């Protein structure tokens, strides 16, 4: 191996010299500017939402600039929900898929890094038994010759990255790794938010089923009263038939609710990485959830560093800018150097013996001259791809700002809606109780009772839906703000990433 040192030293010296003299063409990446706005909505939000009596009616305060906890779902104070989300994170096939994709991108980066920063070194051994004719040498009268040839050699080669095309390729691969990291964070956030909102939906459906069952019990009691009054001649038979119809209509609303509950349970099981038939899935009820009363609201300038979809779009733009550098470097000369050292002999026993050593040094220069406009067209295509990714980034930011604005307004409206629905339910219940008593005394007709009953039924269902909307939209706010992944411990997922530089196409050559 001592014979190999001169070759390796020569290659290393050439590489070092080229690195010192080289430059990197193409755009340098710089972070996009933060949105030039301090507000999400055109009108200011109230300091806190309205309050209402009952579950989910607490006032919520908007804490501008407050940090989001990494495990934001713990603010709902449901131990069953916490356990289910922990299991889902461990068993989700969706997360496993993206984690595998991330590992693939990391290994591709490692592979390219090895070829970029170190020469390739290969060992070769060959054994050949060959017969030649003198015709090959222009001497047909020469007798045929049969011989063996053994060759053992080591070859080292390196492509000088003088104009930085290889470094730009590495930059693009690093961006792909970071893109997959943010994709993983986005999937993590979507999974946890979907579990919370699905659990809230289950709780809402259970509450609606209970409310419907209570209404059915009241209607069955009322049917008994109407039938007794009919037997006594106090009401017409049409009133009895009307009450039976009303009872049947209410019963018909139960199967769709039960179907929706079953489907919601199936979805919750799959989100948690379980079979839909799993009977061990916890059951959720609105009374088992606590509405978070303090809601952190990040500033728009911070949102672009927090949302995984925005960061992923930024990395796509970063990769596209690096590809412009690759396409630019392809317009310039490409230089490779190589060296080999070995031994060649007609007998294997003489291999590495005296007089069998062979060696070689070489260098190659490739300067593109004319490719029919292919290289310049590819560079223009790379610039167009960069422009596309930059436009997509802006679109992602605008959609994220809209997402947050919509949820903030929804939370304020949800609180006012719940207060109104709570008041309406109380009024409808009092009206129904009073009308029922008056009907039993014969003070009002049956149509008044039916109308009061219908209003009370609608008010009960609407109240449950309004309560669930506050829980669901609260979870949607944490999702819209990025979910606090940057505050999560290392074992909880991917680590946060440092800021990068924004790419510019103008005057990119250096």
| Max Cα distance, the chain (Å) | 136
Q: What is the pLDDT of residues 60-97, one digit of tens each?
A: 999 998 999 999 999 999 999 999 999 999 999 999 99
Q: Which residues pair with 72 in a beta bridge?
A: none
Quick check: is 10 in a domain? yes
Are 319 and 240 in the same domain?
yes
Are 305 and 381 in the same domain?
yes
Quick check: is 504 in a domain? no
Indicate if the pLDDT at residue 406 is higher than 70. Answer: yes
Are 255 and 147 in the same domain?
no
Q: Which of 26-30, 270-274, 427-431 has the lowest mean pLDDT?
A: 26-30
* pLDDT score at 448: 87
User: Are the C-beta atoms of 321 and 26 separated by less than 8 Å?
Assistant: yes
Indicate if the pLDDT at residue 13 is higher than 50. Answer: no
Total domains in the chain come to 2
Are 306 and 353 in the same domain?
no
CB atoms inside a 10 Å sphere around CB 489: 9
Of the pLDDT bands very low, low, confident and very high (cuts 50, 70, 90), residue 8 is very low
Quick check: is 508 in a domain? no
Kindly report the average pLDDT of the chain as a whole number: 87
Q: Which of 131-140, 245-254, 334-343, 460-469 has the lowest mean pLDDT?
A: 131-140
Q: Which domain holds residue 108?
A: 31-118+163-332+374-492
Are 290 and 399 in the same domain?
yes
Are 62 and 127 in the same domain?
no
Indicate if the pLDDT at residue 311 is higher than 90. Answer: yes
| Rounded Cα–Cα distance for residues 186 and 189 (Å) | 5
Q: What is the pLDDT of residues 90-112, one digit of tens each?
A: 999 999 999 999 999 999 999 98
The arithmetic mean of pLDDT across residues 382-389, rounded, is: 95
Quick check: is 136 in a domain? yes
Are 173 and 233 in the same domain?
yes
447 class by beta-carbon count within 10 Å (0-12 exposed, 13-18 middle, 19+ buried): exposed
Indicate yes or no: pTM above 0.85: no
Quick check: is 462 in a domain? yes
Of the pLDDT bands very low, low, confident and very high (cuts 50, 70, 90), residue 119 is confident
Q: What is the pLDDT of residues 316-355, one digit of tens each?
A: 999 999 999 999 999 999 889 999 998 988 888 888 888 8
Quick check: is 500 in a domain? no
3-class SS at 444? Answer: coil
Higher pLDDT pick, 206 / 36: 206
Quick check: is 86 in a domain? yes
| Rounded Cα–Cα distance for residues 45 and 39 (Å) | 9
Are 465 and 342 in the same domain?
no
Indicate if the pLDDT at residue 143 is higher than 80. Answer: no
Are 412 and 476 in the same domain?
yes
Are 387 and 446 in the same domain?
yes
User: Are the C-beta atoms of 16 and 29 separated by less than 8 Å?
Assistant: no
Place of tokens 């919509």: 406
Are 136 and 241 in the same domain?
no
* pLDDT score at 232: 86
| Rounded Cα–Cα distance for residues 479 and 443 (Å) | 54
């Amino acid at each position: 191996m001592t014979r190999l040192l001169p070759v390796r030293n020569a290659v290393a010296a050439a590489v070092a010299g080229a690195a010192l003299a080289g430059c990197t063409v193409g755009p340098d990446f710089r972070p996009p500017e933060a949105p030039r706005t301090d507000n999400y909505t055109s009108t200011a939000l109230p300091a806190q939402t309205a309050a209402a009596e009952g579950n989910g009616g607490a006032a919520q305060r908007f804490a501008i600039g407050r940090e989001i906890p990494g495990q934001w779902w713990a603010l709902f104070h449901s131990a069953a929900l916490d356990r289910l989300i922990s299991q889902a994170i461990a068993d989700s096939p969706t997360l496993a898929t993206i984690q595998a994709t991330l590992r693939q991108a990391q290994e591709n980066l490692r592979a390219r890094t090895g070829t970029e920063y170190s020469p390739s070194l290969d060992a070769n051994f060959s054994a050949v038994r060959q017969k030649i004719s003198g015709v090959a040498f222009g001497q047909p009268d020469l007798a045929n010759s049969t011989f063996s040839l053994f060759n053992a050699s080591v070859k080292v080669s390196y492509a000088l990255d003088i104009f930085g095309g290889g470094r730009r390729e590495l930059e693009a691969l690093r961006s792909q790794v970071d893109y997959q990291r943010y994709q993983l964070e986005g999937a993590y956030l979507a999974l946890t938010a979907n579990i919370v909102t699905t659990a809230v939906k289950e709780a809402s459906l259970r509450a609606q089923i209970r409310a419907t069952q209570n209404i059915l019990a009241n209607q069955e009691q009322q049917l008994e009263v109407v039938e007794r009054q009919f037997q006594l001649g106090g009401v017409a038979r049409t009133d009895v038939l009307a009450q039976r119809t009303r009872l049947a209509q209410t019963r018909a609303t139960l199967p769709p609710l039960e179907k929706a509950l079953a489907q919601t349970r199936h979805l919750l099981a799959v989100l948690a990485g379980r079979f839909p038939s799993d009977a061990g899935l916890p059951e959720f009820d609105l009374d088992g959830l606590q509405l978070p009363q303090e809601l952190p609201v990040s500033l728009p300038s911070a949102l672009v560093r927090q949302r995984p979809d925005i960061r992923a779009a930024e990395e796509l733009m970063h990769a596209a800018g690096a590809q412009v550098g690759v396409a630019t470097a392809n317009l310039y000369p490409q230089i490779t150097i190589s060296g080999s050292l070995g031994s060649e002999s007609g007998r294997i026993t003489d291999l590495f013996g005296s007089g069998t050593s062979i060696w070689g040094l070489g260098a190659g220069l490739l300067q593109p001259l004319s490719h029919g406009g292919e290289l310049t067209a590819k560079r223009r295509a790379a610039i167009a791809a960069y422009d596309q990714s930059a436009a997509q980034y802006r679109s992602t930011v605008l959609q994220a700002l809209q997402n947050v604005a919509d949820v903030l307004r929804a939370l304020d409206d949800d609180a006012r809606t719940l207060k109104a629905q709570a008041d309406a339910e109380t009024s409808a219940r009092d009206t129904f109780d009073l009308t029922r008593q008056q009907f039993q005394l014969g003070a009002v007709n049956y149509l008044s009772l039916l109308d009061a009953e219908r209003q009370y039924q609608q008010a009960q269902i609407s109240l449950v839906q309004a309560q669930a909307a506050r829980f669901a939209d609260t979870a949607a706010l944490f999702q819209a703000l990025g979910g606090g992944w940057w505050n999560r411990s290392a074992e909880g997922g991917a680590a946060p990433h440092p800021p990068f530089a924004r790419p510019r196409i103008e005057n990119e050559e250096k």
